[in-house]
Amino acid sequence: QVQLVESGGGLVQAGGSLRLSCAASGRPLTVLSMGWFRQAPGKEREFVACINWNGASTSYADSVAGRFTILKDNAENTVYLQMNNVKPEDTAAYYCAEYRLYGSMCHRAIEDYDSWGQGTQVTVSS
């Protein structure tokens, strides 16, 4: 089993930066592809970013491309979401997730992910 624990959320002003962390246990990141998703109250969970098991592929939602970066540190078994130039519409609970298919591109579909963290809240003030 893989366990994921998110941290780093909080209150930030529009235009500021935040760095979210997702610590994985149970398996090394070298055999996991990872994704970040977010969900605002009353809305569906949506894809934010993903990174392939070997770090060779990343993908971003259009709404965050150019502002967010997904990173992983294999030594710490932790994946990060660096959020720059945040906007009020980025306000949501952010979740990390994993799957174990080793394709050439990371997956954007919620249905492809096998386990999830509990989430960390990000609130952006205007």
Mean pLDDT for back-to-back runs of 10 residues, the chain (126 residues):
96 98 96 97 97 94 98 97 98 97 89 97 97
pLDDT for the residue numbered 65: 98
pLDDT for the residue numbered 102: 78
* DSSP secondary structure letter of residue 41: T
pLDDT for the residue numbered 101: 79
In Å, how far are 10, 18, 48, 68, 121 from 58, measured between CA atoms?
25, 19, 11, 11, 23
pLDDT for the residue numbered 113: 96
pLDDT for the residue numbered 104: 84
In whole angstroms, what is the distance from residue 96 CA to residue 79 CA? 8
pLDDT for the residue numbered 44: 97
